[in-house]
Structures are given as C-alpha cells and as structure tokens.
Amino acid sequence: MRQTFFQIFILAFIFIVAFVLEIMPWPNDFQGYRPTWVVLVLLYWALALPDKVSVGTAFVVGIIWDLVVGSILGIHALVLSIAIYIITMNHQILRNLSLWLQSLLVMLYVILIRFMIFFIEMVLNNAEFNNQQIVGAIISGILWPWVFLLMRQVRHQLRLH
C-alpha cells in the first residue's frame, strides 16, 4: 500500500513539473516552438509502465491539461486517450526500438497529436494552424532521448515498477 501511494505521488509530481514547463511563458514569436512536455512525459510512462499509466491516466492528464491551458474541456483528454491507447497496444515493439528511432516516432506522434487537436478546435472554433507547431514537434523529438534517459534514471533510482 505504501509503495503504491509513493508511486502515485512521484508520478503526480513529475506530471506537475511537466505542466509547469508547458505553461512557462515564452516570447509570442516562439510559442509554436514550445516542446510538448506533457506528451513526452506521458509517452515515457506509458512505454515504461503500461499497466499503471494507460488510457485512464491519459484521460485525466488531458482533462487537467484542458483546465491548465484553458481550451475546450475534453479536447486534450480525447486526443491523449486515443494516442496512449495506440502506444500501450504496441509498447513491446516501441520499447525495443533504438532511441533515435523512438525519437523520430515521437516527432511524428507529436505532429499527429497537434493535428488532431487542431482539427477538433477547427471544427468547434474555426482555429488556424500555426506552422511553428511542426517545429515544436521536431524539438520534442530532439528532446526525447534526454527525457527518456532522465525518466529512466528516476524510475530506477526510485524503484518504480
């Protein structure tokens, strides 16, 4: 019981840090270049602990993300739930890929997530797509090896299984 509470506390703290990084102010001209920290952290934990971090966790994280950024409630929850479902169904294959290939897949995955969010917002609000978001997805992919190694270090140090 104590170990489970500790794991939940650590994962919650890591997601809080990701949300803080997500809402950290950037200059207006560079908003689109922002990496998607929440997606990177969620992807890592869905790959590392697919039995503990899966669709339900993605839904809760998505609802919190909607509340934090002020978007329509449920958009991020829906998109992240679909995305993490695909990841957890293929986690054995994805875990065995090299880190650079995972990085390329993370780039494509973040682009897909951003397009899905844009499409839903376009249907509901007439949103416009910002081309800088593609660069933000590339930056997320470039940061993936460091996020992966940092999260793995945390997981091994704290014995999260």
CATH number for the domain harbouring residue 15: 1.10.1760
Query: Domain range spanning residue 124?
Result: 1-158
Q: What is the reported pLDDT for 1?
A: 60
Q: What is the reported pLDDT for 137?
A: 93
| Pair 65, 38: CB distance under 8 Å | yes
Report d(CA 64, CA 44) in Å as an integer. 18
The pTM (predicted TM-score) of the whole model is: 0.93
Residue by residue, pLDDT tens for the chain (161 residues) are 677 888 889 999 999 999 999 999 988 888 878 899 999 999 999 999 998 899 999 999 999 999 998 888 999 999 999 999 999 999 999 999 999 999 999 999 999 999 999 999 899 888 777 788 899 999 999 999 999 999 999 999 988 87
Report d(CA 83, CA 30) in Å as an integer. 26
Q: What is the reported pLDDT for 28?
A: 85
**Count of the separate structural domains present in the chain:** 1
